[in-house]
Amino acid sequence: MSSRVTISSMSAYAILGCGSVGHAVAEELVEREKDVLIVDKNEERVEALRDQDLNAQAADIRDAEVADLVSDREVVLILSSDVDANKEAVKNIRERDEDRFVVVRASDPVTSDELRELGADVVINPSSVIADAALRALESGELEYRARQLAGVIQKTEKKLAVLTHNNPGPDSIAAAAALQAVAEHFGVEADIVYVGEVGRQENRAFVNLLGIELVDYEDAEMGDYDTVALVDHARAGDPPGELDVDIYLDHYESGDEVQAAFVDVRPNVSATATILTKYIQEYDLNVSETVATALLYGIRAETLDFRRETTPADLTAAAYLYPFANHDTLEQVESPSMSPETLDVLAEAISNREVQGSHLVSNAGFIRDRDALSQAAQQLLNLEGVTTAAVFGIVEDTIHLAAQSKDIRMNIGNVLGDAFGDMGEAAGHSTQATAEVPLGIFGGLEGSEENRETLLNLAGEAVTRKLFDAMGVESESGNGS
């Protein structure tokens, strides 16, 4: 018996009918040091069982006195191949008392129903047991086959593998990509995760940053460096860029078009591509890293809205497999990104230094260490009443860093920063969020003393603020800022 059932509080068993099934069960129970009584009508067999030091008695399991014989047993397993005899046995036991836990072997669905009506607690129908086992074998065999195919395609890589997430990737896609990267590494193939668009939303950025997942922007990627291309979780997120020759395609959604790739695994019966990758990781028996396990678990949870949306048994078993390997502190942080003390300082500084013109806010946060704090501060400042665009800048070493966020649909903040700083520094972003960097040197060569630095900060701050308001289209009207 391969399945492990623990019935620890029940210690005394009876097996009625000791053919091959009954014998296998008896051996397993005795192995587990259970007290087992075997009843079979074949006297020779009973003798043989006794020779094996088993507690066996000869009796026809149809006889009413067999019910007395097993009355001190908590569990009775009626396993003979004669289903009519089994029916009699159940009837006798139930007539004697209601308490025994009775497991009975049936022969087909009809006798299954009859045995249940007679009072069996569990009915086993051999043909459905075999059918289940066959299906499970098929499933694992199929996975083994697919895993071999996928490994083959990965191993053909001579240069590098590019794993493309879907455009503006979310957790499922990033997690699946990180897992495929780990699978490739397992086969000695270097892989990069490549994305198109933006990693939007604070949780997604927190997810990528906290786990230290490295992503390559498609714009910066040299696609010629890759001779194998994989698309993960792509079907519902627009077309991949350019004329990509796709080798590997993994998704839980069917693609609208026919996918042309050497290896395709689409499973509409699971709810996350991260689930599919978890199955491969199990199949390859990969030593899954904490990062990949945490990423996959978050991917599954995010895609199923914490198991509330279209969750399948496969998603749950994948999550259960990942659970012990994942870092739950990180998961908690990803799910509720907390504000670092640095961000809080930057935010406090930005609030007190804010200048507001109309619905536009610009603020100088001074000398800072962590430029990521700027975009978080800008995001928070959008919560101020009447503010639709917020830009916060600060100085890190010799560079002014600026982050801006806008919820004003008439304004493209990416263009605003490009207009204001494109010629003296670098600006990047899109309509709702953008960043810019300007070398401090542009504002004069003051160096050295603390006093000079303060002067420089004020000069640069005024210049940046003026340029920003100009680019936002604000005339030098009277502001209502502080």
In the complex, the residues that contact Mn ion under the rule CB under 5 A are 172, 233, 273, 303
| Residue closer to Mn ion, measured from CB, 22 or 299 | 299
| Residue closer to Mn ion, measured from CB, 137 or 305 | 305
CA 27, CA 21: separation in Å to the nearest integer? 10
Angular region, 238: left φ>0, alpha ψ -120 to 50, beta rest = left
CB of 314 to Mn ion, least distance (A): 14
CB of 233 to Mn ion, least distance (A): 4
CB of 329 to Mn ion, least distance (A): 25
Q: Do residues 365 and 358 make contact, with C-beta atoms less than 8 angstroms apart? A: no
CB of 199 to Mn ion, least distance (A): 15
CB of 25 to Mn ion, least distance (A): 44
Q: Do residues 280 and 237 make contact, with C-beta atoms less than 8 angstroms apart? A: no
| Residue closer to Mn ion, measured from CB, 40 or 172 | 172
Chain residue at closest Cβ approach to Mn ion: 172
Alpha helices (H) along 156-221: 171-186, 202-211
CB of 302 to Mn ion, least distance (A): 9
CA 150, CA 155: separation in Å to the nearest integer? 9
Strand partners, 389: 360, 406
CB of 272 to Mn ion, least distance (A): 5
Q: List C-alpha distances in Å: 470 to 135, 351, 432, 466.
A: 69, 21, 18, 6
Strand partners, 123: 104
Which residue, among 98, 140, 144, has the nearest Cα to 121 in the 3D structure?
A: 98
Which residue, among 398, 340, 396, has the nearest Cα to 368 in the 3D structure?
A: 396
| Residue closer to Mn ion, measured from CB, 273 or 406 | 273
Q: Do residues 363 and 392 make contact, with C-beta atoms less than 8 angstroms apart? A: yes
CB of 232 to Mn ion, least distance (A): 9
Q: Do residues 460 and 404 make contact, with C-beta atoms less than 8 angstroms apart? A: no
| Residue closer to Mn ion, measured from CB, 172 or 192 | 172
CA 103, CA 125: separation in Å to the nearest integer? 11
| Residue closer to Mn ion, measured from CB, 247 or 303 | 303
| Residue closer to Mn ion, measured from CB, 273 or 405 | 273
| Residue closer to Mn ion, measured from CB, 70 or 176 | 176
